[in-house]
Amino acid sequence: MPTCARRRNSLIAAVAVTLALGTAAATQTPAPPRVRLVATGGTISNRTGGRLSAEELVKSMPGIERYAAPEFEQFTNLASSELTLAQWLGLAKRVNELFATDAGIEGVVVTSGTDTLEELAYFLNLAVRTEKPVVVVGSMRNPSTLGYEGAANLLEGFRVAAAPESRGKGVLVVLNDEINAAREVTKTDALRLNTFQSRGYGVLGVVDADRVAFFRSVVKRHTAKSEFDLSNVSSLPRVDVIMVYQGADGDLIKAAVDHGAKGIVVAGAGAGATSGTQQDGIAYALRKGVFVVTTTRTGSGRIAPPRRNPNAPPPAANPNNPNPLTPEEQRRRIAGEDLLPVKARVLLMLALARTSDPAEIQRMFSEY
């Protein structure tokens, strides 16, 4: 065969091989995103005779390989009400560490008991600083119960964590095919599967058979835009929640202050009303340098900051109140905006770990 013919045939063969390789590369299925399970326990793990481990939870999800490459680690294996604030700090630091040291992890799923899931999720929403998805899941039935939904919730949590559309939306709570924002969601029923609701705000999205579908985003600050850096925080200040009810005694507030509370969240009646001698207790707290946040026990509604005129004359003397609060003491009264009392407590703990400036703390309640 002439030399030119051999060269032509070699060139044709090389082009064919190149095209074949290119076609194979184009049709090759991309590797599923890596998603890490950080298990803390809860009903989702509470099998009769012994709790499910993180590894067992991952193995319980049929078809997970279609959506994610699952990894797992056991942080704790406790009921959510048994987790300590020190463990909350450790969990947030661990999730931050995972994202900081392993760029290949695309999302994290955290299991939690449902009793305090909304508090833990909101804490992570403020303390984990990443654009990547962090999803909190749980279950209402335990693994030994007929109708256990834990594996389905966990699989949907992994799907949401693996979905690119979940980035930048803050910490998400996924149960019962629904995606809710950590800031807004609350447990509304002691037993029913559809217990987690965002009431007037509505769900962020749903997890359907074909895809993860989002309908809206949260505009409040969270995660990557949060200012709460826990790197040097070893403990959180004590903050207590006091309920308003007819004829309530302010001594409970005084007792909390005397036992070391740095903040009090008042779950007020209606738009923040108190009862009994609670105003005396609040005044006692403010004089002691304790911050008092007003919220509502109704489950929804906004407590707005008061309008303060710096040029207003001092109030007239009141013979019934010979020892009025000073302006500085009054500024420690913070409006809780639309946060539920337990979530206002979470934000106040983090705020007090950062500052004691009343204006800054009120700003935080407006922005977060």
- Percent helix, strand, coil in the chain (nearest 5)? 35, 20, 45
149-207: pLDDT as tens digits:
999 999 999 999 999 999 999 999 999 999 999 999 999 999 999 999 999 999 999 99
Distances (CA, A) of 127 to 90, 120, 136: 11, 10, 14
Topology of domain 239-307+318-367 in CATH is Rossmann fold (3.40.50)
The label of the residue with tokens 């489950």 reads 299
Residue 181: how many CB atoms within 10 A of its CB? 25
Residue 222, token pair as written in the block: 């969270």
108-124: pLDDT as tens digits:
999 999 999 999 999 99
Contact 65, 30 (CB under 8 A): no
With both helix axes pointing from N to C terminus, report the angle between 251-258 and 278-287 in degrees, rounded to the nearest 10: 20
pLDDT band at 323 (very low <50, low <70, confident <90, very high): confident
- Arithmetic mean of pLDDT over the chain: 92
Question: Are domains 34-225 and 239-307+318-367 of this chain identical in fold?
Answer: yes
| Strands 205-207 and 212-214, sheet pairing | antiparallel
Beta bridge partner(s), residue 207: 212
Topology of domain 34-225 in CATH is Rossmann fold (3.40.50)
The residue extents of the domains of the chain are 34-225, 239-307+318-367
Residue 196, token pair as written in the block: 């987690």
> What are the residue numbers of the active site?
43
Q: Which of 92, 117, 30 is nearest to 67 (CA)?
A: 30
Distance of CA 76 to the CA centre of its chain: 18
- C-alpha angle 352-358-361 in degrees, rounded to nearest 5: 50
42-59: pLDDT as tens digits:
999 999 999 999 999 999
Which residue type occupies 185?
Answer: V
Average pLDDT estimate for 85-97: 98
